[in-house]
Amino acid sequence: MAELMVGGVRLVVAGISDTGRKRKANEDSILVEAPVFLVADGMGGYEAGDRASQAVVAAFREHGVAEGFGTLVAIRNSLVAADARVAAVAAQTSRGAGSTVAGAVLIEHDGAPHWLVFNVGDSRVYRHAGTVLEQLTVDHSLGQALVDEGTLHPDQLASFPDRNVITRAIGAPDSTADSWLVPVIDGERLLICSDGLTSELADESIRATLTMGGRPESVASTLVQRANEAGGRDNVSVVVIDVIGGGGVAPAEYTTGAVMLSVEHDDADESTVPVR
């Protein structure tokens, strides 16, 4: 666990990456170095998936980690570098390689601290405030695409066999990141996780753990333990971030205030994102 100060924002952060009960190797990697916090889930099998996720972390460590707030340009550069590095890993294998990534970066926007939340693939970022849990990211997966187009009802998603087929990944032909600006609020808790957690635990179980679990290191440990107890069929990685001070005050009717933007182009698309 680490206590951090970033641009006047006080954070307590903990991260765990666990192999799980079924896999022989851990293809997940995490980065907990202010102002960047992320989880990457590698694909490509033994010695390729782990190298792919490590390549993502190395790119963000080189281009995104800095003193004080991060910047949109730094995250753009991190994503470009990550894509190139994972492609280089893939070129050395017969099966190819790729990686998901989901993260949150502290930046300054309009004079106030914000989270720049982003994802490629089906690793996720959640925001927990009070007793409310909201998924900030949207999965890039076949199951989510079918839900979005109305072919599959959300209640059917858990039983859909191909729900976890990835439609975007770092190192793949489509590596476009979706991203959102989210105001930083005192007392909130962010969870960044690989699908090894969300494939084993329903959102309600995650919400209950975040509500009752105590400090970030205890919460992170409990989430990993519960995922393993539920089957542990994949690697499980979680980063838990508590905002202790320096953020804003939550409105009476709490919503994320998330605004979608592009980290792929110079012009931001600031269309309001509905609360999930």
Per-residue model confidence as pLDDT tens digits over 144-173 = 767 667 776 666 566 655 566 789 999 999
Give the integer Cα–Cα distance in Å for 34 and 104: 10
**CA nearest neighbour of 71 among 102, 119, 114, 11:** 114
Amino acid 188: pLDDT? 96
Amino acid 270: pLDDT? 39
Amino acid 156: pLDDT? 58
Number of independent structural domains in the chain: 1
Mean pLDDT value of segment 3-28: 96
- Is 82 domain-assigned? yes
Please give the model's pTM, rounded to 2 decimal places.
0.90
- Is 218 domain-assigned? yes
Amino acid 272: pLDDT? 33
Mean pLDDT value of segment 112-128: 97
- What is the percent of the chain where pLDDT is above 90? 75
Q: In the structure, what pLDDT confidence band is assigned to residue 141 with cuts at 50, 70 and 90?
A: confident
Amino acid 172: pLDDT? 92
Amino acid 265: pLDDT? 41
> What are the tens digits of pLDDT across the range 234-262?
999 999 999 999 999 876 555 566 666 66
- Is 276 domain-assigned? no
- Is 248 domain-assigned? yes
Q: Worst-scoring range by mean pLDDT, 93-107, 160-174, 211-225?
A: 160-174
Q: In the structure, what pLDDT confidence band is assigned to residue 274 with cuts at 50, 70 and 90?
A: very low
Tell whether the model's pLDDT for residue 264 goes beyond 70: no
Mean pLDDT value of segment 103-127: 97
Amino acid 254: pLDDT? 54
What is the residue range of 191's domain?
2-261
Mean pLDDT value of segment 202-223: 95
Q: CATH code at 178?
A: 3.60.40.10
- Is 269 domain-assigned? no
Quick check: 87 and 171 in contact, CB under 8 A?
yes
* CA dist list (Å): 99 to 21, 44, 121, 174: 21, 9, 8, 12
Amino acid 47: pLDDT? 73
Mean pLDDT value of segment 15-19: 98
Q: Residue count of the chain, please give it.
A: 276
Give the integer Cα–Cα distance in Å for 60 and 82: 7
R_g of the chain, CA atoms, integer Å: 17
* CA dist list (Å): 222 to 187, 225, 229: 20, 5, 10
Mean of pLDDT over the chain = 88
- Is 268 domain-assigned? no
Query: Tell me, what DSSP letter sits at residue 166?
Result: B
Give me the residues paired with residue 183 across strands: 114
- Is 10 domain-assigned? yes
- Is 202 domain-assigned? yes
Cα of first residue to Cα of last residue in the chain, in angstroms, is 29
Quick check: 93 and 22 in contact, CB under 8 A?
no
